[in-house]
Amino acid sequence: MFPDLSEQLRQREQQGLLRQRKILESPQSTHVTMDGRDYLAFCSNDYLGLANHLDLIESASKGARRYGVGASASHLINGHSSAHHVLEEALAEFTGFPRALLFSTGYMANIGVVTALVGREDAIFADKLNHASLNDAALLSRAEFIRYPHDDLARLEQQLSSSNARRKLVISDAVFSMEGDIAPISELLAVCEKHQAMLLLDDAHGFGVLGRQGRGSLFLPDCTPIHSPNIIYMATLGKAAGVFGAFVAAQAEVIETLIQSARSYIYTTATPPLLAQALITSLKLIQQDEWRRDALTQNIVRLREALQSLPWKLLPSSTPIQPLLIGESAVAVCISQRLRERGILVPAIRPPTVPPNTARLRISLSAAHQPHDVLCLAEALQEIALQA
């Protein structure tokens, strides 16, 4: 019935680009059961090991007993519970902004922010390695969409200075999801302030992990822009926080504009309040459990040292995202499959998610990984390299 679609899928398969889902049969952890087999996993974003934490499970249970299992309405009708409200206030205080607003996902948050703040008469300036949600948001906004080479602030400044747009918005990952590197936030903000541009930072992979008490990329030692009114900060709550959702933190007038105009906030059912209840507990654990970030840092150092002798090189990264650059998609898929045969899960990331000829293994580390877990992965990769 759809021969063109069948041919398109066949071509994707031949190119090693056909994605396939696997069935997880256990809680998310460093050791999981998938498709009936036990694996050592390096593929989730559960950076602090909170996704299966007993305190969060208990908080979710208490939230379910108090609020039920569904919000059943949007926030602007009657789906905005006291749990949502308390969490928003806690997130604003934690990140140092006047107000915060919950969204169902980071994808919806980025789309909501961008489309609410800019339109046809405006311009968006985006790092070329940004997450797909930021790119899609830019396209949906109908603003002029201008991209600059990765971290090339000189090029960005040229673009900003030559723009006559009514409103200018710079959008960037704070931690780049496929590279693992951190944006030069202070310098990026300085360029934005010079040219009266707003700056949307997507800190999906930095929140909970980086900065003092895990407050995110804005709290790194060399970063001092937290009080700038130009910044709009987005972070997700399903990665280091271990649960689900996202939030945007910014000045009060920005948050109020999102409440009034962000379609991905207005026209969707609120997330279950039981998740907000669990996230309140998660936020407390993020603040107090410094040992989790210490363990994660040790795992990052341990992995990088153990993989130095491989023919494939790790990209520069001090974050839990450790990309091992392979090159060809078919080779990356083959290595991932050979690891899986050894009981180790590491995903192969291929175009179009990453640029052509930069297929890689995306190794995701967690505070819950034990030293022997990391060494097990390193030994398996060394064996595969010798057999190549």
Q: What is the pLDDT of residues 266-283, one digit of tens each?
A: 999 999 999 999 999 999
Element (H, E) at 327: strand 321-327
Per-residue pLDDT tens digits for 64-93: 999 999 999 999 999 999 999 999 999 999
Residues 6+ apart with CB under 8 A from 182: 174, 175, 176, 206, 210, 217, 220, 318, 319
In this prediction, residues 15-33 reach a mean pLDDT of 89
Q: What is the pLDDT of residue 17?
A: 75
Among the options 59, 104, 141, 177, which is catalytic? 177
Task: Pick the catalytic residue from 168, 239, 317, 329.
Answer: 239
Q: In one letter, which amino acid is 266?
A: I
- To the nearest whole number, what is the mean pLDDT of the chain? 95
- For the annotated binding site for substrate, the residues are 19, 131, 353
Out of 75, 168, 205, 369, the active site residue is: 205
Global pTM reads: 0.95
Q: Does residue 133 have an active-site annotation?
A: no
pLDDT band at 1 (very low <50, low <70, confident <90, very high): confident
The whole-number pLDDT of residue 225 equals 59
* Entry field: residues in the chain: 388
Instruction: Respond yes or no: is residue 284 known to be catalytic.
Output: no
Using the predicted structure, report yes or no on whether residue 2 has a pLDDT greater than 90: no
Residue reference for tokens 């949600």: 133
Residue scoring higher pLDDT (222 or 126): 126
Q: What is the per-residue pLDDT for 226?
A: 63
Q: Is 239 considered catalytic here?
A: yes
State the pLDDT at residue 15.
77
Q: Which residues are annotated as a binding site?
A: 19, 106-107, 131, 177, 205, 236, 353
Residue 224 binned pLDDT confidence (cut-offs 50, 70, 90): low
Please report the domains of the chain, with CATH numbers, ordered by start residue: 17-48+290-387 (3.90.1150.10), 54-288 (3.40.640.10)
Under 8 Å between Cβ of 344 and 380: yes
Strand partners, 126: 147, 171
Residue 223 has pLDDT above 90, yes or no: no
